[in-house]
Structures are given as structure tokens and as C-alpha cells.
Amino acid sequence: MRTGRGPATGARVPAWAERAVTVFAVAIWVSTLLRWGYLSQLLAQWPLVLAFGAVIAVGEYFRFTLEEGREIAPMSLAAAIGFTLTSFCGDIDIRVIPAAPILVVTGVAMVLGSLPHLARGRRVGVAEIASRFIGVAFTATLFRVVPFLEDGSLVRAEHIWATDRPLLAVVMTVVSAVGLMGFLGMSALASAARRRRDLGQSLVDEVRSGAGLSLALSTTGALVALAERPLGVIALPLFLVPLVLTQFALRQFAAIRATDAQTVRVLSRLTEVAGFTRPGHSDRVAALCNDVGHELGLSDRELRSLEYAALLHDVGQIALTAPIPGGATLMAAPADQRQIAADGAAIVRKTGVPGDVAEAVELQASPYRLVHEQGQAVPLVSRIVKVVNAYDDLVGGSIAPGRREAAVERIQLGLGYEHDPRVVAALERVLARQSTLDGPALREP
């Protein structure tokens, strides 16, 4: 976990950029549809089209959600990439078929796979589907359109390396990997717009979380395309089986993550139920910590640790013999604050959540001067929780400007000694935006 100053926050991506990704994907599909003359060539090979279209649609139907609401459909994406890279299916030569009709079929299959979810009223990540389609379009353009060689595109010049299949495999893998980088870029743009984040940090998170899977997808797509020549359509299900098993493992991982989140939520309620803290305190601290963490450019992994630490920061109070008035640890003596933090960390370590969460809870009572003067490794997550918890202890959920301003002034008294100046500055920016969204200033009752 980072202990230094952290990255500077860049410009936030506007909300309309998420819609722009979808519009871009639709524009690509419509432009390919207008080239309808090529569709007859592809429809002449209807068994191949039906096989790839069916697998893409099934893959879209069985997509699932990972952390931060990110939807993925690895089987659909791998099949679509394999479709764009296929030059021969058995004895059938489809090198003359350009990218346009292949993208038309891919887009239709993706939409068809989403229709059952829409019919049941489930959420469909339109921007995520658009990002996948754009990634496939990049791959198809590189392999079937761009004239890299004197003979034309890579698919038309395949005869050059027909006797060197390993070289062709490398070329296909590289092309699909570059196309998938386009997919990750579009996903990062949509995610940054949806969550109002910095594009650079969002791209880093996308690459960090999706690079391994993207490599597997690019390799699988190339294998499917290469195996189509000797095996025919049967190569499609044969080489997608390992990806199906990988998808099952990812689903299990997502379920475990969801269980961890539920455990943390339930545990955070203990202090409220027992009367040690005010109702909604941990939720308010977690929500505001998330905003401050975004402001400071934390990664998705750090934001998850921050959320867990914020929810569990007061759990050590259940070891107290008598409650602190209002549950406000800000009013407790420094020694009591450290003891509450230590007891909370001991409880958190038994829950099975990542160890950095327990460390953040344990060090939340550490004053900033230990970092500034003595170089002690106090995680940035701990420093954020310390500032935001102090703010909520003073405000108590009120949105009255007078109480907010008084709370910030009180926190500023310990600036550089008790509280991290960067965190306090980020909190002030977040509160300023919230005040703007709240509308006209509210009067104190």
C-alpha cells in the first residue's frame, strides 16, 4: 500500500464520454452495414457465420460482473476475435471477405445475446458491449484492411508465410493483442466517465485488472483462427473450452469478493446495533472516503481497501466497557484512540479480508507528524480515514453549511501535525462540489 504523496489527480472525464463510446461503436456498425454488397459473400458461408454468431451471442448472454460493476464476456470476445482472424475454414477460403460483413454479424450477435437480459429487466452495460465491439473492429481493421504488405492486408498475404505457421501465429496474436488494447482503452474511457475519474488512472486500473485476461483472449482467438483450417468449425468449441473453465473460475472469484464485501458490511453494523456509534456513521465515512480517494487518484484496489477500512474503522469500540459519547473517537484521548484502532485491527484480521485493510485500521489513529517528521510508514488509506472520520464526528451527517465549515476549520487546526494536508485539501474540494450539487445554501435551524 502506498505511503507517499500519491499521484496528482488529472482532469476528470465528463459523463458524456461514456455515451460517446456507444455512439462510436454504433457509427462503426452502421458504416459497415452500408457496405451490404459484401454480405452475400459471407452469407454464402452460412455454417461458419452461424457457428461464430451463435458462440458470440451465447458468450454475451453468459457475461458476468466483476468488481466496480465491470461487465466482461471473455467467450464472446475471444470468438469474435477468432472470427476476424479466420482466413480458411477447412477448404473454404474466406480471405476475400473484408472486415465489414464480419463486423456486421459480430454486432448483431452481441445485441442478440443481450436481448434476454433486457427482456427480464436486467442491467445491460451498453458501454461495455460497445467497448468489446470496438476492440473487435480494431483487430479486424489491422488484419483485414490495413495494407501492411505489398500484397495488401495481412489476411490476403497469408500465402507468404503459409509454410511458417509459427510466424503466422505470432502475427495473429500481436494483432489481436493490439486490438484488445483498443478495447481496454474504450473500457477505461467509459469507466472514467461513469465514475468521473481521471482517464490515466482508469486506464492503469483497466490494464492492471484486464491485461492477463486480454493476453489469454488474444492467444485463444489466434488459436481458433489457426485451427479453423485443418479442423473446420469444430475448432471453435474445442479451443474455447479452456476459456469457459477460466470464466467459471472468474465467476467464483467474483462471488468470493461479493461475500467478503457482505461480511464487511455486516461487521460494520455491530457498533451501531450495540449503540457505540451513531446510525449511518460508517456508511457516511465510507462514501466520503471513496470521494476523497478518487480525488487523490487511488487505484481500484486501493479504493476497495479504503472502503473496507472506512466501514470497519470503529469496530474496535465493541471492546469498550462504556461507549464514547456519540461514538466520536475524535473526542477520545490519543491513547484510547490507539487502543480502539488496535482492537479493531485484531478483529479485522480474523475476517479474512486483505491484510492491508487491518493495517489501515490499526494505523488510523497515527498523527500525520509521524509521517512528516519521522518518516513512519502510515498508509495513505489510514490518513484518509482519519481525516474523514474526524469530519463526520463533527458534522454527524448534517448538510448545513455552517456545521460543515466549522468542522473543516476544526480539522485545519491540526493541519500538518494531526492531519495530512493533501487529504484535507482533497476533502475540501469534494465538499465544495457537494455544496454546489446541493443547490442554494441551507440555513442553520
Q: How far is it, in rounded angstroms, from Cα 11 to Cα 378?
A: 27
Report the candidate in 66, 181, 57, 196 with the shortest Cα–Cα distance to residue 131: 181
- Ordered by where they begin, the domains of the chain are 16-256 (no CATH), 269-438 (1.10.3210.10)
Q: How far is it, in rounded angstroms, from Cα 117 to Cα 112?
A: 10
% of the chain surpassing 90 pLDDT: 19
Do 142 and 33 contact (CB within 8 A), yes or no?
Answer: no
Q: What is the pTM of this model?
A: 0.78
> What pLDDT sits at residue 10?
53
For residues 100 and 109, the model is more confident at: 109
Report the candidate in 232, 216, 204, 208 with the shortest Cα–Cα distance to residue 176: 216
10-14, 24-28, 86-90, 97-101: which range is least confident on average? 10-14
In this predicted model, what pLDDT tens digit does every residue of 44-81 receive, in sequence order? Answer: 777 888 888 999 999 899 887 776 667 788 888 888 99
> What pLDDT sits at residue 160?
63
Residue 134 has pLDDT above 90, yes or no: yes
In this predicted model, what pLDDT tens digit does every residue of 358-385 receive, in sequence order? Answer: 899 999 988 888 776 676 788 899 999 9
Q: How far is CA 40 from CA 83, 101, 111, in A?
A: 17, 9, 21
Residue 110 has pLDDT above 90, yes or no: yes
